[in-house]
Every structure is written in C-alpha cells, then in structure tokens.
Structure 1
Amino acid sequence: ANSINSSNDVLIVIDGLPGGSVTALSPDDIESIEVLKDASASAIYGSRAANGVVLITTKKGRKGQMEVSYNGYVGFQDVKDRVDMLNGREYLTVLNEINVESGGDIIHSPQKIEEVGDGYDWQDIIFRNSIIHNHQLSFQGGGDKSTYYVALNYLDNEGVILKSGEKKYNARVNYQLQPSDRLNFNLNLSANRAATDVIRLGRGTNEGVGVLSAALLFDPTIGPERNAEGYFDVNPLVAIENPMALLEGIDQLNVINTVYATTSADYEILRGLKATVRLGTELENFRSDVYENDQFQIGRGVNGRATINSNENTYWLAEYLLSYDFTLGEHDFKLLGGITYENFERRTLYSQASDFLSHVTGTNLLQSGNSDTYVVQSGKFVNRLSSKLGRLNYTFKDRYLLTASLRVDGTSKFSDKNKFAYFPSASVGWKISSEPFMQSQDLFSELKIRAGYGEIGNQGINNFETIQTFRAGSNAVLGGSLQTGAVPARIPNVDLVWETTKELNLGLDFALFDYRLSGSVEYYVRNTDDQLFQQPVPFTTGFNSVRVNLGRVRNSGVDFSLSTKNITGKRFRWETDVVLSLLKNEVVELPEFAQRIIYGGFGFSGNYLIVQEGSPIASFYGYQIDGIFQVNDDIANSPQPNALPGHPIFHDTNGDGAITADDKVILGDPFPDMTFGLNNRFSFDRFNLEIYLIGVQGVETFNNLVAESLYPINKERNHIARNYLDRWTVDNPDAEFPSGVNYTSYSDGENKVNTFTVQDASFIRLKNITLSYDLPLLNAGPFKSVNLYVSGENMLTISDYDGFDPDGNSDGVGVSRATFTDYPIARTFRIGGRLGF
C-alpha cells in the first residue's frame, strides 16, 4: 500500500482499455494475464498504475473451421465457518449471573431457562445451502483475412444468506480483420448485466443494523415467527430489529449494465514503422431500487419508503501511437511514442418518497407517495487526463537489455499550476546465461539479473478539491419568504500536487537443470511522497478535514517465486509452483505540524488508527491489556482506582498513575509480514489433480464484532460464546476475558480498541482443489474433446480469528482493515464439464 487515503487498487487493463473490472469478465474469455508490479514496467501506463498493473488479454479467433465449445458447472454452497454465539440457555444464564454479580437479582427463572432450551440459532435461520451454476457457449473460427470469437455466458449465484444472490449475463465479440499485409483492424466488444439481490449488512442500533449483525447479536430466545399483529417480535432492551424483519421488510435490487468496446487499427507505413490508433469506451449504468415496507421499523413508521439511486458513468479513451523497430548489426531497437486522451463523466440521480397507499407498487410509482416527503438530488462530475509518452527498448547481442520511458500526465483535478507532472523510468538487464563463457555448463538453463527505477503519479482526489464550490445549505427567511441558501462545500487547496511513487527494483531470474527448476527473486524499495491526505481540522472551521500533501511512505520487501517439475514420467507428472512475498511498510517522514495523525472512527469504537513516523500507515492505536484484576489486588492504589475485580488492567504506558489517551500504543497494523501461495499439479494418464493453498501471516485487524461482544451497547445483546463462558468470576480467576460486570466503566469508544479487539488475522486456506478427467474419444460422435471435473473452493481455513473471514474488510479507512459482519465466504462444491465440438 502506497497511499494513506487515496486508492491502492491496481490498474486493470483489458484488451488495452484501462480501468476495467475483472468481475465483468467471464473467466472463460481470458486468454492470458500479465502482472506488472515494478514501476519501471508499469510507468508507461501513467497515473493510475501507481499500485501495479494487471494486463488481461481476451481470447481471439483462430483460422479454420468454426469450433464450438461449452463449459458449465453446477455447484452447492454453504457457510462452513460459523461464529459460536451463546445459545438460549447460555444467554439467559449469563444475564442472570452478571446481574447477581452486579448486586441485582435473578432475572430469569430456572423454569424459563429450561423451557427456552437451546433457543434459536439465528445463523441457521438466515443461512442456507445455495446453488450456483454457470454456463458458457463460445464459437470461434475464421479465414485468411479475418477471425472471430463469440461467447455467451450466464451465471446464477444464489446467495448463502436468504434473499441474497446475483445473476450475470455476458456477451462478447472479438473480431480481427487483415485486409492487406500492412493493415490490421481489431474490435473487442462486450456487454454485461449484473442483477444483485442485496441484503442490508450495516451495523448500529434498531433500524440501522444489518441482517448478519442482527442474527449474531439478537436475543436467541426470540424466533422468526410473526406475532398476532403480523410483525416479527423484538426484545426492546436489545435495540436491534428481528433479523427476519430486515429480510422481509427491505427489498433491494442493484442492476449494473456495462458495455466495453475497443477498436484499433495498425498500419505499417514502412518496414518496422507502424502507426496505431486505438479508441475505447466503457459505458456503465447503475441503478439501485430500495423499498422498505411495514415489516421494517422505518417503513412502518413512514408507511413505506421508496428510494432510487442511479449513476451513469461514461469513459472514453483515444490513443495514438507510433512505433519503430529496427536492427543495426547486433543492436536491436524498439521505439514507441504516442499521446492519449481520457475523459471520465458521471451523472447521478437520487430520488425518494414515503407514505404510500399500498406497498405493492414498490419503487415503481414514487409519485404516489406523499409529496411532502419527496427528495430529489442530482449531480454531474467530469475529469480529464491527457498524456504524452515515449519508450525505448534496446538489446545488444540478445543479452544486454535497456528500457527507458518518459510519460507526461496532465489532469483536470489539480489547479493550473500543478496539472502536469513528469514520470520517468528505466531498467537494465543482463542475460548471463547467453554469454559465451556459460555455454559449456549445463547447470543453468537461464540466468538473468535486472535492475529498474521508475516514478508514477497518483491523482486520487475528488473533483473540484482545488477550487471553492458550494452546495445547497440551510434555508433562511429573507424579505418575508423562505429562501434556499448556499454554503461552501469544502476548504479548497490550490497547492495540491501529484502524489509520486519512486521505486527501485533489483531482480534475479533463473532456471536450472533444463528448466526442471525455475523462478525469480526480487527486492524492491518504493517511496511515495506528497501523500494526498485528508488532514483533520478544528471543528471551528465548519469542516472535518482538508486535503493536503504531506509525508513519505516506504514499502520495501522481497518477492520470491519457484516452479519445479518434480516428476516428469510418461504417465505420471507432478509440478509445483510457490510464491512468497515479504513486506515492510513504514511512514518515514511527516511534517512538523502533523507528527501524529489519529483518525478512522469505526462503529462505536472511536478513532482507532494512527499515522506517525517509524510505524506502518494506518496502524491500530489503542490500549494494551496486561491482565485482569483479582480479588486481592490493590485496586485502590492502581491507575484504575474505580475498577472492580474482573475488570481488565490497562497498561499505564507513561507511568503517570492514570489511564488516559496518552497511554495508547500501537497494537498492530493491517499489512501482512508474509503472504504465500502453493500450487501442486498432478497428472496420471487422463486424470489431473490440482491443489491450491494460500496463506497470510503477521497481519492484524480491528474486530468490531469482538468489541460489540465484550463491550456491548447494552448487555441484553448476544455475545461470542467464549467471551462469556470463559469470563472472570471468583470461581474462575484464571479466565481469559473480563467479568462483564459494570462493563460500561471501562468500555467507552476509545477503550474498545485494545489487545482483545485488535486480533491476529493470519490464516492458511485450502483455496481450491480440482480433479478432472479427459474422456477418450472413441466413437465420440460430434465431440472433439470432453473434460469432466469436480472441485471444491474455500474448503478449509485455519485461523484464530473470531469471525467469518479473516481476510475480510467491512469498513476499513484507506488501507486499514476492520471487520464486523462481512458477507461470509462460501464453501463451494462444483461438478462440471468442458465440451469441444
């Protein structure tokens, strides 16, 4: 992660069109994927490539008779890893015990506890075993002058939570035409539609809570049945909607229609001199329809509420390139120069109405609502990017390599004096294995060392942040009538400049024993200066923050990859791929006026992130807990004189005898020390087995579900079982967790961020296992190939994390990681086949 507040997403380039989405692609349409991580390689793609580039090339047609292929599967999904919450009996017993330990009486009688029994497992109620199926039909062929590839894809993914799911439709046409030896035309066209049934995944109290958080925190003694009035029961002390009310009371459908199109023409002017013109567009229409009926508290209170939110996004690219390839003796040159122009436009429309005569119409007749409740908002946002680029590739004797490039980017987001910036890059390489002195050895099949340096800019700010704009503000009475006023929308900063990443790479590529063992090792140092940061400002300004340039962030690490051909027999083969990455992230420089920046409030837990020199960006900032107070401890003379036995002991970091915000320390950071992947492929005759493992080690996350369990808004909310079954009592003094008695005295917003709630999110996961079989084609009729397979995805996860997915991120700020109730990761079993005709 290079940037504190700006986007850290990689740039996706699909068939030469930057900014595409992988989710809009059918995996069967992909021909190849190339990852450009170092700045010397990705700099040619400009400002959006600061975090790396993924180049995706889709399939093209082949000359010859038309070939037809089908690939499809049917799968079954479930949620394997559940959160162990208190059941009904445990829930009532814990409430009784805590109330008695707090000096009160037993609330729930033994008879009631016995009648409740295990109560209701709300995870079982809202989760379901769901079906997923995918079907792709493709056609390809062509003649001497043209080729084509046409594909249709349909995906139906029934969600693992009731009333959730997604249907996707994809159509693709790739066409190539070569009317002469010097002229080539290419057309890549795809249309995609995704319709998603959305469930609310928010957090909060009452109507603000989401389905999953409600299922975890709701009273487990209350079930999913409607009462005599036709509504779902609630426990008013819990202050959470019944999960079924959230499912039945809110209908939301999100639909995205997207068209991607790129067309290019290549003309060879002279031998080696080629001109290229590429035009591309991405047209996206998004619409979200939400209707809240009387099963939901808000809908019942306003007699139904309908909301429509729509966005129209238009992106255009025009690219003009000139390349010249030539050779002078043993010197090979490749020159490239060009200009690009990109235009981004977004139009938004938001409308809402309430108080309907009937819930039947949903969002189809907003005008039938009460006109006094109408809300209409609209907007238009435009930004442009223009660039000039040049690149030189030079090779001498096919073993000495040099690449140099320069890109000039200009963006409309910055003020006139800072619109343009220059981003150079260069790399050198030496193919040692091609040297004459290496020809007599047979150890190294390939050996190459390389080094690179590059600079890339980041323009990741909102439109208009460098100029003063206004928005509709509060109304005022002027001249005896009500007038709508306008107020400043932000504090502008005309001095904002490009955030710049400067990267140095050193690498070694190798292959040994006739390529039986091959791999690479790469060391990198990446410094990002002039961070585009939202700096908090005093409330007296009327704003929360202002965008500024500040500081330097350094990422350094090692990437290692290894491929081995372990067994290469005629009938049995075994191959292994290993990738491993080590990362260190550090803030190395901050200005004098901002040596410590504390920010990032999440849920009800206050600010939980810090940026300071010498630490990773967005480090978790809170209290270290040294243990739990015991009965005989001298609590009165401790830094927490009002604590009780069973309360957590907060570490007095500065030794001043009191627990204050000055005692906060860094508890971890969201950056893994190590990530790895291990892929094994086995083949025996016509059988193939592939096993893929991934892992992350040395990473932390702020787990707001644990914070809500240990420090709930009210004690009647349900809890993670182990937090309370292993809580401190007089009879259980060695417990891991506090007593829960009078917990509000140690659980204000900032105290919730501590060594209990900042958790280790390391994990190892069996990501995929696939077994396939190629059928022999004796008298197979129309079939040219038949492959059948079974697979399992997310089959096993090993982690100490309390939640559904240690790799999730509910509401992280920038690069941070914070989890609460992410949509759970599904375990999937598939059976499918690939047929060729």
Structure 2
Amino acid sequence: RLSWGETGNQAIDNNAQFGLYTVDYGLDRVTSTAYDLFLQGSGTFPSGYRATQLANPNLKWESATQYNIGTDFTLLHGSLYGSIDGYIKDVDDMLITPSYLGAIGEGGASWLNGPSLRNWGMEFALGYRTNLACGLGMDISANADFFRNKVTYLPSSTTGSYAHTSKENLVQSGMPYGSIVGYVVEGLFQTQAEVDASGQPNARVGGLKYADLDKNGVINADDQDWVYNPVPKFSYGLNIALNYKNFDLSMFWQGVCDKDVYNNQKFQTDFWSVTDAGSNKGNRLLNAWNTNNTGSTIPMLTTSNTADEGRASSYFVENGSYLKLRTLQLGYNVPATFLSKFKMSSARIYVSGQNLLTIKSKSLTCPDPENPDWNYPLATSVSFGLQIGF
C-alpha cells in the first residue's frame, strides 16, 4: 500500500473567535467584528460585553501532510499472517494560543501559527492460527509499534509559549514535542557542609540536591536540562484466542516500554510544604529523611518550601512502563442436543474480567502509570453473561 494525503485541523473550538472585538463601554452599545467558525458571532451586542482576544490578520490554517507505506501478508496456507506499516507526517503552522505580556491587558490572547513538527513511526503485526489434531484451536497475534517526533521549526513569535527553552534549543535538541526541561536531582543533602558548598539558594540538610551542570558553583536556571520525554520507546499487545470442544478462552495484554511519567502526586506524598501544607498527606512521608534515616530518598519534612522543591525536576519523573491484562474471558457453548429441547439455536455462558492485572516498574510510586496526575486508576471489573439465540 502507498498513500499520500494532506488535511487541515479539526482540533479547534467551534466557537473560537478569529476576529477582534471593538469595545465601546459607553451607554449605547458595543460593536463586534468577530466571527466564529459558524459565522454566528457577528452583529451588535448590548453594552457590557468585553474584549476576549485580538485578531491576527496573518493567521492561516494548520496543515498536515502524511505519507504511508505498508503491506499485508499471509503464509503457510493462511496460518501465518501479519502486516507492516510505516508513515511520515509533517505538521506545519500549528494553531496555538501562546501566553502574552500582561502589559497588553485583558483580551490580549490571540491565535498564532506556531511550530512545525515531523512525526514518523512503524507498526508491526504477526499472528498464527491453526487447529491441532487434539481438537484445540488457536489464534495468537502480537503487535508492536513505535513513533518519534521532533520540532522542525519554531517562529520567534511563539518561543515564549514553551517554558525553559529557546528557539534554537527546542529545534536543535531533537526532543519530542511535549518534552520538559527541569533540574537534575542528584539525591539529598546529607550534611550542612554539603549545603554550604552547593551554591544552591535556600538549600537545606535533607532537601533535594540539584546538579550544577555548568560547573560554575551556582545553581540557577542555566543548570536545567531535558528531564521528561513523553514518547515511549515502543508499545505492544498480545491477543490469545483458544477453543476446545465447547469451551473458548480469550485474553488481551497491552503494554508500553520505557515511557516517562511526570508524577505530580509526589507533591502530596513526598512533601509537607510544596502544596496544601495543611492538608492530609501520603504515608510515604513516614519514611522521610531524618538523622536516623539518612538512607531515605524522600526529603526531610519541613513546613516551609523556601528551597522551591516543587519546581520541575527529575525527582518527579518516573518509569511509566507497564503490562496490563486488559480483558480475560472464558465461555461455554451449550451443546445443540440440549438446546433443541428448548427450541434455541445457540446459547453461551461466559465470565469476563477487565483490567485484572497490572505489572509496572517497582520505582513507580503512583497507583496507575496511565493516570499519574491524581486521576482515578482504571477500575477492575468482573461480569457474567448469557447469550441466547432462537
């Protein structure tokens, strides 16, 4: 298969205003020259409406150009099957609403054309199906995929939208879109002598120790580096379907390898003072550093966050790799000789479970690698069913 296509952007609010409100706060009325995507935002408005954003006469639609190549194959009389796909997707003139100077005042937001990206990746699938002489039938298939992306262009008008990095750094680094720059944590300060020699403002014994990457004896914004990569090394899945006589068994495993997780839950589980100092905290704080527990990796308790330990750093980045048993189902088809007595054509009894097992990195401190930001973990459920046909 070979294909090429170019599309626009659909991820824009239908009510997004692309014009400029001209506001008159007099006693009469306010005139608007704004238009939303449905052209319903024009006309005359009562006094009291306010400016929401500025117009951009140079604005144009985001575009995405994608190239695909792939093949499907079957071998051994259809027993072995699979597919291989590859793609390259170039996104130009991304539509963004960057931060703006406070001096502009209310209504200073505006849509701009921002970065250009290149995404590329491959997908693989391989399966085997057969019926053995003993009566066991099987269909086992596995898949894996990876993707990479990088910023290829960043206009100077939008560099302020991406924290801690310059135009040259973001483009030349080759890091994926959504990567985060922060401080590199080397551990905890063990002695006052280490604190005094660190050059780190407001450092404390038992607190986070940031690396002096530029070796100038002072810890400041120049000591930041890339600490978070949102793109996993690869993702994978496994489907298994077995049947023997009237029984059938199916399961689906899904996993992600080598993915960073930025665990904001550590604000509450590892610190007393970073946020909500008066609220309840996690039990990890019971193992915080103290003079009798110097081997701990959890900072010493304090009621004052003078060292700014909630700043973006590698301390909050954890290994989010996982393997999950998404579904498991066991079924039994009632024999036709029994069904004929009740004038039924088919009947199947089954029990099914979802999200029954999660295998994750031992270093991950949040319950679910897919939901690190205080989202509820995916629920485990078990259901029973009966399917009847006449």
Give the TM-score, by structure 1 length: 0.41
SS across alignment from 2:336? coil
What does the per-residue CA deviation read over 1:293-339, in whole Å, with 9 as the maximum and x for residues that have no partner?
A: xxxxxxxxxxxxxxxxxxxxxxxxxxxxxxxxxxxxxxxxxxxxxxx
Amino acid at match of 1:665: D
Contact 1:624 1:650 in 2 (8 A): yes
Deviation at 1:502, TM superposition (A): 1.1
CA contact (8 A) 2:344 2:389 kept: yes
- Deviation of 1:755 (Å): 1.7
**Structure exhibiting the larger radius of gyration computed from Cα positions:** 1
Which of these residues, 194, 198, 204, is aligned with residue 634 of structure 1? Answer: 194
Whichever residue aligns with residue 280 of structure 2, its letter is: N
Gaps of 5+ in 1: 1-449, 477-482, 600-606, 809-818
Please say if residues 115 and 152 of structure 2, whose CA atoms lie closer than 8 Å, have aligned partners that are also in contact. Answer: yes
Q: Secondary structure at the match of 1:769?
A: strand
Question: Does the 8 Å contact 2:261/2:319 carry over to 1?
Answer: yes
Q: Does the 8 A contact of 1:595 with 1:612 survive in 2?
A: no
Is 1:668–1:699's contact at 8 Å kept on the other side of the alignment?
Answer: no
For 2:176, which of 616, 620, 630 is the aligned residue? 616
Describe how 1:503-522 pairs up with structure 2 within 5 A: 503-522=66-85
- Whole-angstrom distance in 1 between the partners of 2:54 and 2:143: 46
Call closer, same or farther: CA 1:774–1:553 in 2, change over 3 Å.
same
Instruction: For residues 457-482 of structure 1, give each alpha carbon's deviation from its aligned partner in whole angstroms, at most 9, with x where no partner exists.
Output: 11433335321136898x99xxxxxx
Q: How does 1:243-262 map to 2 (within 5 A)?
A: none
Structure 2 match to 1:825: 378
Q: Contact 1:502–1:527 at 8 Å: present in 2 too?
A: yes
Match of 2:32 in 1: none
8, 15, 20: which is aligned to 1:468?
20
1:554 counterpart residue number: 118
CA 1:496–1:642: 2 relative to 1, 3 Å: closer
Query: What residue identity is the alignment partner of 2:170?
Result: Q
Tell me the distance in 1 between the aligned counterparts of 2:229 and 2:266: 17
* Residue type of the alignment partner of 1:773: Y
| Alignment correspondent of 1:458 | 9
Distance of 1:455 and 1:665 partners within structure 2: 35
2:263 is equivalent to residue 703 of structure 1? yes
Q: 2:341 matched to which residue of 1?
A: 780
The AA in structure 2 aligned to 1:550 is: G
The letter of the residue matching 1:468 is: L
Report the alpha carbon displacement of residue 546 of structure 1 after superposing the two structures with TM. 2.0
Q: Offset of 1:718 from its aligned partner? A: 2.9
Name the residue aligned to 2:354: 793
What is residue 292 of structure 2 aligned with on the other side?
Answer: 731
Q: Flag the 1:505–1:534 CA change in 2: closer, same or farther, 3 A.
A: same
Alpha-carbon separation, structure 1, partners of 2:23 and 2:211: 46
Q: Deviations over 1:145-182 (max 9, x none)?
A: xxxxxxxxxxxxxxxxxxxxxxxxxxxxxxxxxxxxxx
Secondary structure of residue in 1 paired with 2:103? helix
- Structure 2 residue matching 1:745: 3-state secondary structure: coil
Distance of 1:660 and 1:731 partners within structure 2: 31
- Cα separation, 2, equivalents of 1:544 and 1:657: 40
Q: Which whole-Å CA distance do the structure 2 matches of 1:788 and 1:737 have between them?
A: 50
Distance in 2 (CA, whole Å) between partners of 1:633 and 1:545 is 48
Does the alignment pair 1:744 with 2:305?
yes
Question: In the aligned structure 1, how far is the partner of 2:257 from the partner of 2:188?
Answer: 28
Partner of 2:326: 767
Q: CA 1:470/1:759 → structure 2, altered by over 3 Å: closer, same or farther?
A: farther
SS at match of 1:649: strand
- Give the AA of the match of 2:176: P
**Match for residue 491 of structure 1 among 44, 54, 64:** 54
Please give the secondary structure, in 1, of the residue aligned with 2:94. strand
Distance 1:537 1:833 in 2: 59
The CA distance in 2 between the partners of 1:731 and 1:544, in whole Å, is 54
Task: Determine the C-alpha separation between the residues in 1 that align with 2:78 and 2:103.
Answer: 67
Return closer, same or farther for 1:624/1:459 CA change in 2, 3 Å cut-off: same
Corresponding letter in the other structure for 2:240? N
Paired residue secondary structure (1:634): helix
1:341-388 per-residue CA deviation (whole Å, 9 max, x = no partner) reads xxxxxxxxxxxxxxxxxxxxxxxxxxxxxxxxxxxxxxxxxxxxxxxx
- Any idea what the Cα deviations from partners look like across 1:708-736, whole Å, max 9, x if unmatched? 333443444333323x2332212222211
CA distance in 1, matches of 2:159, 2:212: 22
Distance 1:472 1:699, change over 3 A: farther
Q: Equivalent residue of 1:688, what SS?
A: strand
* Other-structure match for 2:41: none
What SS does the aligned partner of 2:3 have? strand
User: For 1:792 and 1:518, how far apart are their aligned partners in 2?
Assistant: 28
Q: State the AA in 1 paired with 2:72.
A: D
| Contact 2:202–2:307 (CA under 8 A) maintained in structure 1 | no
Post-superposition offset of 1:562: 0.9
Residue 489 of structure 1 aligns with an amino acid whose one-letter code is T
Asked whether the 8 Å contact 1:459–1:499 carries over to 2, the reply is no
> Is the CA contact (8 Å cut-off) linking 2:201 and 2:307 kept in structure 1?
no
CA distance in 2: counterparts of 1:622 and 1:456, whole angstroms: 35
Equivalent of 1:651 in 204, 207, 211: 211
Letter paired with 2:296: A
Query: TM-score of the superposition, structure 2-length normalised?
Result: 0.84
1:577 to 141, 145, 149: 141
Match of 2:313 in 1: 754
Deviation at 1:596, TM superposition (A): 5.9
Question: Contact conserved, 2:54 with 2:110, CA < 8 A, in 1?
Answer: yes
Is the partner of 1:725 in helix, strand or coil? Answer: helix
- Post-superposition Cα deviations, 1:228-285, rounded to whole Å, max 9, x if no partner, equal xxxxxxxxxxxxxxxxxxxxxxxxxxxxxxxxxxxxxxxxxxxxxxxxxxxxxxxxxx
Show the 5 A alignment for 1:138-217: none
Match of 1:126 in 2: none
SS class of match (1:752): coil
Displacement after TM superposition at 1:772 (Å): 0.3
Q: Secondary structure of 2:351's match?
A: strand
Partner of 2:43: none
The one-letter code sitting in structure 2 at the alignment partner of 1:713 is T
Q: Tell whether the 8 Å contact from 1:527 to 1:552 is kept in structure 2 after alignment.
A: yes
| Alpha-carbon offset, residue 568 of structure 1 | 3.9
1:592 aligns with 2:156: yes
The one-letter code of the counterpart of 2:63 is T
With over 3 angstroms needed to count, the CA separation of the structure-2 counterparts of 1:776 and 1:551, relative to structure 1, is: same
1:528 aligns with 2:91: yes
Give me the whole-angstrom Cα distance separating, in 1, the residues matched to 2:306 and 2:141.
53
Whole-angstrom CA distance in 2 between matches of 1:464 and 1:768: 40
Tell me the equivalent position of 2:221: 661
Contact 2:228 2:262 in 1 (8 A): no
Counterpart amino acid of residue 365 in structure 2 = D
Q: Find out whether 1:625 has 2:177 as its counterpart.
A: no
CA distance in 2, matches of 1:691, 1:493: 52
1:669-725 Cα shifts (integer Å, max 9, x gaps): 322221111011111001000011000122223222212333443444333323x23
How far apart are the structure 2 equivalents of 1:617 and 1:456? 20
Q: Is the 8 A contact 2:267 2:275 kept in 1?
A: no
Partner of 1:458: helix, strand, or coil?
Answer: coil
